[in-house]
Amino acid sequence: MLFASSLSVLTQLGRLSRRAVLSAWNSPVGPVLLHLLLVAALVSTLYCFGIIHILPSDENLIVWDAMWYQQIAREGYSYSEVRTSSAAFFPLFPYFWRLTHLGPLGMALLNAGIFNAAFAWLGHQLRLSRRWQLLALSTPMLMFMWLPYTEALFFLFSSIMLAGLHRNRLDWTLVGMFGAGLTRSASSLFTPALVLTVFVLAVAGETRRARRLGIGGVLTLVASVAIVAVMQKVQTGEPFGFIKAHKHWSHVLSWPLWPLHATTGINMLWLEALAMAVGIAAAGLCLGLVIRAKRRWAQRLSLTYPSAAVVFSLAYAVCALLFVVFFQKGNVANLARYILATPFLVVLFWQVSQLPAWPARYYAAVAAGLGLVWPIFGAYTRFPAFSLAQTLWYFGLTTAYALAYLGWRQWRYGREMVMLLYFFNLIVQLHLLESILQYYLVE
């Protein structure tokens, strides 16, 4: 009798636990909670077996850009005509850090919390499927969200802006744009993206929305730049230090050196190359959208266009590509950071998820297109320390990785493919995080 009662209680508890798990999974934060649980399990396992040797601490988190952010948080801005200085960085994150009174580890954990909350909210606003959310959360370049860097705040405000564009909420759009403009030098990339979005809306017949977005967006971006200029004028005497300082970081307009390369090395080049492919594809889609819009305008026909958030994200990817290619002398380091560690990629994932099933010839066309992109990095001709066979294998794996992202949604074993991609991405993300904690260059 006692055994039967105990069994009944355990059965009821099992049912309640199952309902609780399903309820959590189906909630807007479900994918994020599962992701954090899997991250904790994987990190503890890899650290226990000695595969990961270093965990974040106050000492090892102050690397690369974090040193400059900490300096601004403690001392304010400095500017030099002859060497690198903190004037190249925008103020919102370091001053937010100052207000929190947190150490590097505390700030890194707060950044992780901000990012995960922003991601859950954006995924809910886009109605992005849970599998796509898990894939997006595992993106290797999101390891920057676990550092005292500006990426988390930029992700937050850019998410608010994109959700506003997607939901036709001008207030969200402008608040997000203003915050992003104070977090990074976003105005140089956002302005062309704003122009294209306004143009598409106007051609589509939404003239009132286009006018309000155009005027409000320009004023918002100008206001964010003006605030940064005033702050630097007061603290350093040079209002445009955030522009002039870039020459000391080798960000100078110049014709790129060919083939393109990445100072971050072979473990990052495939990610930079994928970001390059995203940028080139975005350029083609933007060009096609402009041509179609002009034809519709000439024929006085209405234009069917994707979400305004998608248009803006495509244009942003193009602008990031052009900046890296023409302002870094052929060094594509940071391209993956600018494109793949942002909510703009999440919006593009959402757009891919809305596409109908592709015939096999579409995947063949994508593979052929990627095969034409890889020679930009010297593939097939000159690739340092690699034989031709090794080069073909390296870029062949990168091509297969991209095709898996595009194709899993319609493959028979799509669920298994998602989990394979997820854990591969997560291991790469942890590897890159450990690398940067050891002061290796990961940009």
**Sequential DSSP letters for 288-323:** HHHHHHHHHHHHT-------HHHHHHHHHHHHHHHH
Distance, in Å, from the CA atom of 260 to the CA atom of 279, rounded to the nearest integer, reads 15
26 pLDDT higher than 70: no
What count of other Cβ atoms lies within 10 Å of the Cβ of residue 327? 17
Distance, in Å, from the CA atom of 96 to the CA atom of 85, rounded to the nearest integer, reads 20
Residue 29 to residues 23, 35, 79, 120, 372, Cα–Cα distance (Å): 10, 10, 43, 5, 40
- Could you tell me which of 112, 95, 130 has the C-alpha nearest to residue 36? 112
Domain that holds residue 202: 30-354+411-437
25 pLDDT higher than 80: no
Task: Name the 3-class secondary structure at 42.
Answer: helix
For residue 187, the model assigns a pLDDT of: 78
- What confidence tier does 305 reach under pLDDT thresholds 50, 70, 90? confident
Write the CB contacts of 10 (distance below 8 Å, at least 6 apart in sequence): none
Structural domain contains residue 237: yes
In this structure, the chain runs to a length of 443
The dihedral region occupied by 329, where left means phi > 0, alpha psi between -120 and 50, and beta the remainder, is left
Residue 166 burial (C-beta neighbours within 10 Å; 0-12, 13-18, 19+): buried
Distance, in Å, from the CA atom of 79 to the CA atom of 242, rounded to the nearest integer, reads 9
6 pLDDT higher than 60: no
Positive or negative, the CA dihedral 386, 387, 390, 395 is: positive
Structural domain contains residue 73: yes
217-233 pLDDT, tens per residue?
A: 999 999 999 999 999 99
Least confident of 41-55, 237-251, 416-430: 237-251
Structural domain contains residue 393: no
The dihedral region occupied by 90, where left means phi > 0, alpha psi between -120 and 50, and beta the remainder, is beta
Structural domain contains residue 367: no
Q: What is the DSSP letter of 27?
A: S
Token pair recorded at residue 273: 């190359």
Structural domain contains residue 207: yes
Tally of structural domains, the chain? 1
Residue 340 burial (C-beta neighbours within 10 Å; 0-12, 13-18, 19+): buried
368-419 pLDDT, tens per residue?
A: 999 999 988 877 766 667 778 888 899 999 999 999 999 999 988 889 999 9
Token pair recorded at residue 158: 């850019």
Distance, in Å, from the CA atom of 403 to the CA atom of 399, rounded to the nearest integer, reads 6
Rounded mean pLDDT of 432-437?
Answer: 92
Contact 385, 269 (CB under 8 A): no
Distance, in Å, from the CA atom of 210 to the CA atom of 27, rounded to the nearest integer, reads 34
What count of other Cβ atoms lies within 10 Å of the Cβ of residue 82? 6
Contact 318, 137 (CB under 8 A): no
Q: What is the DSSP letter of 256?
A: P
Structural domain contains residue 385: no
89-100 burial code (b ≥16 CB/10 A, e <16): bbbbbbebbbee
Write the CB contacts of 162 (distance below 8 Å, at least 6 apart in sequence): 122, 176, 309, 312, 313, 343, 344, 347
17 pLDDT higher than 70: no
